[in-house]
Amino acid sequence: MIKGICVTVFVCVTFISLNIYGQMSKIRKTEVLVIGGTTSGISAGLQSARLNVPTLIVEETPWLGGMMTAAGVSATDGNHRLNSGIWNEFRDKLRIHYGGEAALSTGWVSNTQFEPHIGDSIFKSMAATEKQLSVIYGYHLTGIVKDGNIVTGAIFENDQKERLTVRAKVVIDATDLGDGLAMAGAAYDLGMEAKSVTGEANAPETANNIVQDLTWAAVLKDYGKGSDKTIEKPENYDPELFRGSCAMTVDSVLIDCEKMLNYGRLPNNKYMINWPRHGNDIYLNVVEMDWSQRREELKKAKERTLSFVFYIQTELGYKNIGLADDEFPTKDQLAFVPYHREGRRLRGVQRLTINHVSDIYGGQPLYRTGISVGDYPVDHHHACNPDAPKIHFPPVPSFNIPLGALIPEKIDGLVVSDKAISVSNIINGATRLQPCVLLTGQAAGVLAAQSVLNNQNVREINIRKVQQALLDAGAYLMPLFDVSPEDKDFQAIQRVAASGILKVKGESYKWANRTWFYPDTTITVNEFSEGLNAFDQKVTVVNDQSVLTVQKASGLLSGLLNRNTSAEIEKLWESRMNRKFDNQLAITKRELSILTDELIRPFETKSIGFDGNYR
């Protein structure tokens, strides 16, 4: 019997044969192959299929969603006010299921918390509506197929040793640890880079291979007063590992045991157990191990979590709270896979560092090539490894990820998503969070689909066309806190901000950093001339600190376009603005965005490189 779910005829043409070892071998063909139905894998698959490209996801577990579902980390971090793309679509479906936004705010670590099996069911329902998308479950990656320097497919195997070979025009590596890119021979980094490599002042002086602690999450359920759901005592149980997991003060806030449990409280009286302080974090570097070696080594992570559960039930007195019997259909009732915070990181066409995020206008303008957004601070877990160097993480504003971070330096036919994109070890602490990774996957899907549709290598695709497709899908390019997709001028403002013509202002703010556009404010003549000069150097920077008026904006735009724009501006004003036309009006950034986007059409008139510079 052939296992798997097929939705489309063209992708389900299967050739069956026996290899020299007598193993069943199946060969499939598709246009876009996504390795892993992970957080980025499902969004990549959905978006590629929505662009009418035959797409196949091959996933190891029975679930879709990766760390958000199969790994059980369903208390999401970040992007609560960035209503972008598939992240927002998924969250809207959660709100419908649970009865509103407030119903998701059950714990204190997040504004969006849900039962993992509900997340899986939503992703599966989304996948089922896409006629061009197929999903096969139960196969893990064992190899990459290449033709010279070009990736042309991948090889998978299931627990019955049945082999599946998939041929594709573009392959997306959406694995947790970057297994696909490594098998493809793409260059990558593992651990902490040296300061001399990334140019980050807070990076260590010398490189090391230390990755973040991982966690095998559990979901517990309150079975009611009088219930005793105490599990069997784990073989190597050591209660001293968990002393101090609660009844402590953090940042002047008392964390008692109830508050610790409610950290990741989920709907329906459930608790996500992913607790870093003397909890179930563990240091295991399994990245370079093969699949079977990992499975064996990761048993230690399972045991750590079961020990913590036993500690909660016995030492802390919560015997009524036990492993949920209606979440993961696994023998031990734990998540299907561990939560890896870090693995391999691609050496891509561009590498995002904390320097690019801290000051987007201070150096290489990678922000112009942004394709996904995040607002979470830099957050690393290293408490379980005493050899990890102590690194200070400075505050950062919200950020975007450059398209070049998804493309290998030299290997063709491959797009990388999830946590394995080309970012530094330090900024990975912000780019690895669930909503950001989901959006990165959506961009990977656009890139792969456009590569197929245009019959071009992924590194040849027009960046602005990728970005426009994302805008059309309701996704952000710039992480603007004060302009949402519901705003009628959202796309115009996004394009002008992503062109660098009008600047934004970022700020570090608690656990949800922000970037402001201030659409209703004004700017000076000097600021607008500087923005136009950055777009096209034939515009002269004007040292005029007076407020920009409609008339002065018209003069600068006329100089750029080599034509008088007065009549065009007046006509646009009458059709698009909410104020009566007057040449002497101080023009707002919203109004200026509309005029600039309409007259210059920055995404159409000038091409841009992966380094963010205009060509």
Contact 373, 85 (CB under 8 A): no
pLDDT at 259 (0 to 100) = 92
Tell me the sheet residues that pair with 55: 32, 133
What gap in Å lies between CA 485 and CA 529, rounded to an integer?
A: 28
Torsion of CA 501, 463, 432, 158, to 10 degrees: 170
Contact 328, 219 (CB under 8 A): yes
Amino acid of residue 391: I
Contact 173, 398 (CB under 8 A): no
User: Phi, psi (5° rounding) for residue 34?
Assistant: -110, 115
Q: What is the pTM of this model?
A: 0.95
**pLDDT tens digits for 303-331?**
999 999 999 999 999 999 999 999 999 99
pLDDT at 202 over 80: yes
Better pLDDT: 51 or 1: 51
**pLDDT tens digits for 416-440?**
999 999 999 999 999 999 999 999 9
**pLDDT tens digits for 225-275?**
999 999 999 999 999 999 999 976 666 677 899 999 999 999 999 999 999
Tokens 């497709």 — which residue? Answer: 469
Q: Please report which residue ranges of 478-587 form alpha helices under DSSP H.
A: 490-499, 525-535, 550-561, 566-576
Residue of 12, 56, 5 lying closest to 449 (CA atoms): 56
Give the length of the chain: 615
**pLDDT tens digits for 477-512?**
999 999 999 999 999 999 999 999 999 999 999 999
- Region 563-583: what's the mean pLDDT? 95
- Residue 394 confidence class, pLDDT cut points 50, 70, 90: confident
SS (HEC) of 313-344: HHCCCCCCEEECCCCCCCCCCCCCCCECCCCC
pLDDT at 406 (0 to 100) = 98
Angle at CA 492, nearest 5°, toward 521 and 361?
A: 65
User: Angle, to 10 degrees, between the axis of helix 550-561 and the axis of helix 525-535?
Assistant: 20
pLDDT at 2 (0 to 100) = 34
What gap in Å lies between CA 1 and CA 506, rounded to an integer?
A: 55
pLDDT at 1 over 70: no
- Return the percentage of the chain with pLDDT > 70, whole number: 95
pLDDT at 13 over 60: no
Amino acid of residue 140: H
**pLDDT tens digits for 335-346?**
999 999 999 999
pLDDT at 17 (0 to 100) = 52
- Region 10-31: what's the mean pLDDT? 64
pLDDT at 409 over 70: yes
Contact 406, 439 (CB under 8 A): no
pLDDT at 25 (0 to 100) = 81
pLDDT at 548 over 70: yes
What gap in Å lies between CA 46 and CA 41, rounded to an integer?
A: 9
pLDDT at 248 (0 to 100) = 67
